[in-house]
């Protein structure tokens, strides 16, 4: 199958700081190339893979799933981690979903996350039919390149393969459940006139992630594909500022402090696993251990509630008679009604009398006692 011209994966080498850049659904590396080239000129190494099924023909994309796409992303990220000192991850559109999923798996290994018009859901009702339609309709007409600037290069398919789209919906559900686990520094940019991905997607990400360092950028002059549009310069400037601030510690320091606290907590918890004899060998504990335990015993003795230690109350003869009537009365009536057992020959009436008598005796026991000084106690 033919390949879209210029859609090959590429790596722009420069420096020890690398950026993994991920393109979108039905797109290709060409869709983010101007962005990658601009960051490379500033001294960063930028790697842009071509996801399986992309850059060729939509029929080939229909033979892949989101797990195939993510496998390439994860593999290339691990490769960059081994070769470069620090690695950032940038994702455009569906590439944003893959980047978020990568951060959920390996967030501690990446320096920061840059998302541009990320897609994490599409709430149009018609899309609910995709899991069914994919069995009957291979593809539908695509929207094409959503760029405000004139004469954008061809970088994506003209049709949307439905099996691949159904798989993308699975990725969306996975990513939505993972958003709360993301705590890496984040730059997220979105177009207010995006005709492919609703800006509400970015709002969903911002509202649900756990990152304390979030930088928001709004693209007012561009449509969906910002890297090929009027706001390319703003995208590059914002990306450079974000990366620089992370590298210099201007942002991301709170995350480092939290990691330090977690490490200290784990060290404390690990101490509980030490045998008591090893703990007692430590000088401070050996000298004060017994005295400390004695103090704990004294505090425990003072604070322990002993209770009144009163004996349980006993039932009077009247109370016992009432209890017998309440229990045996209904049983007698049931025996007469369902077992035809009537030893007294009066039907269920003896049982009813016993029940009512027991209830009457019970409430009679609750009557107020007369007060010698003030008459009846109310």
Residue with tokens 């993301």: 182
Clarify whether residues 150 and 238 are in a common domain: yes
Range in 204-208, 298-302, 354-358 with the lowest mean pLDDT: 298-302
Spot the catalytic one: 146, 183, 194, 213: 194
**Residue 78, C-beta contacts closer than 8 angstroms, at least 6 positions apart:** none
Looking at the domain assignment, is residue 74 inside a domain?
yes
Sign of the Cα torsion 285, 287, 288, 291 reads: positive
CA distances from 55 to 8, 75, 97, 102, 228 (A): 7, 19, 19, 22, 17
48-76 pLDDT, tens digit each: 999 999 999 999 999 999 999 999 999 99
Looking at the domain assignment, is residue 303 inside a domain?
no
Given 235, 254, 273, the domain boundary residue is 254
Clarify whether residues 98 and 188 are in a common domain: yes
Given 211, 238, 254, the domain boundary residue is 254
Neighbours of 151 (CB within 10 A): 5
The pLDDT, as a whole number, for residue 347 is 79
Burial bucket for residue 189 (CB in 10 Å: 0-12, 13-18, 19+): buried
Is residue 224 flagged as an active site residue? yes
Two tokens, residue 355: 């029940």
Which range, 3-7, 71-75, 264-268, is most confident?
71-75
Two tokens, residue 314: 């006993």
Given 211, 229, 254, the domain boundary residue is 254
Looking at the domain assignment, is residue 366 inside a domain?
yes
Clarify whether residues 38 and 185 are in a common domain: yes
Is residue 23 flagged as an active site residue? no
Two tokens, residue 125: 């009702």
Clarify whether residues 96 and 245 are in a common domain: yes
- State the pairing for strand pair 370-371/214-219: unpaired
pTM of the model: 0.69
Is residue 14 flagged as an active site residue? no
Looking at the domain assignment, is residue 288 inside a domain?
no
The pLDDT, as a whole number, for residue 184 is 97
pLDDT surpassing 50 at residue 375: no
Spot the catalytic one: 93, 97, 202, 211: 93
Look up the CATH number of the domain holding residue 89: 3.40.50.1820
Long-range contacts of 305-309 (CB under 8 A, 24+ apart): none
Looking at the domain assignment, is residue 51 inside a domain?
yes
Clarify whether residues 51 and 129 are in a common domain: yes
Nearest alpha-carbon partner for 157 in 64, 24, 316, 320:
24
Looking at the domain assignment, is residue 137 inside a domain?
yes
150-202 pLDDT, tens digit each: 988 888 898 999 999 999 999 999 999 999 999 999 999 999 999 999 999 99
Range of the domain at 347: 317-376
Query: What's the number of domains the chain is made of?
Result: 2
Spot the catalytic one: 7, 97, 224, 239: 224
Clarify whether residues 37 and 183 are in a common domain: yes
The pLDDT, as a whole number, for residue 1 is 52
Clarify whether residues 19 and 110 are in a common domain: yes
Nearest alpha-carbon partner for 110 in 90, 124, 128:
90
């Amino acid at each position: 199958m033919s390949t879209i011209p210029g859609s090959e994966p590429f790596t722009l080498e420069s420096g020890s700081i690398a950026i993994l850049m991920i393109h979108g659904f039905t797109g290709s590396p060409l869709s983010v190339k101007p962005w990658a080239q601009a960051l490379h000129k500033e001294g960063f190494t930028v790697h842009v893979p071509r996801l399986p099924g992309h850059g060729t023909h939509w029929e080939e994309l229909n033979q892949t799933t989101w797990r195939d796409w993510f496998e390439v992303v994860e593999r290339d990220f691990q490769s960059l981690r081994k070769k470069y000192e620090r690695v950032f991850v940038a994702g455009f559109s569906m590439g944003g979903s893959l980047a978020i999923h990568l951060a959920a798996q390996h967030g501690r290994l990446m320096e920061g996350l840059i998302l541009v018009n990320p897609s994490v859901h599409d709430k149009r009702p018609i899309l609910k039919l995709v899991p069914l339609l994919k069995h009957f309709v291979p593809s539908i007409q695509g929207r094409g390149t959503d760029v405000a600037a004139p004469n954008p290069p061809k970088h994506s398919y003209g049709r949307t393969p439905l099996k691949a789209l159904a798989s993308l919906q699975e990725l969306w559900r996975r990513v939505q459940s993972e958003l709360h686990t993301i705590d890496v520094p984040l730059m997220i940019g979105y177009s207010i006139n995006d005709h492919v991905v609703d800006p509400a997607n970015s709002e969903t990400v911002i509202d649900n992630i756990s990152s304390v360092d979030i930088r928001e950028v709004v693209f007012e002059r561009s449509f969906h594909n910002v890297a090929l549009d009027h706001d390319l310069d703003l995208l590059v400037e914002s990306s450079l500022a974000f990366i620089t601030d992370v590298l210099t510690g201007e942002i991301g320091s709170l995350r480092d402090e939290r990691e330090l606290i977690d490490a200290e907590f784990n060290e404390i918890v690990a101490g509980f696993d030490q045998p008591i004899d090893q703990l007692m060998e430590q000088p401070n504990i050996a000298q004060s251990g017994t005295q400390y335990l004695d103090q704990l015993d004294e505090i425990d003795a003072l604070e322990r509630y002993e209770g009144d230690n009163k004996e349980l109350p006993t039932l009077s003869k009247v109370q016992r008679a009432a209890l017998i009537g309440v229990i045996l009365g209904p049983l007698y009536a049931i025996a007469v009604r369902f077992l035809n057992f009537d030893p007294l020959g009066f039907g269920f009436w003896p049982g009813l009398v016993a029940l009512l008598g027991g209830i009457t005796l019970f409430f009679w026991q609750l009557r107020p006692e007369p007060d010698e000084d003030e008459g009846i106690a109310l």
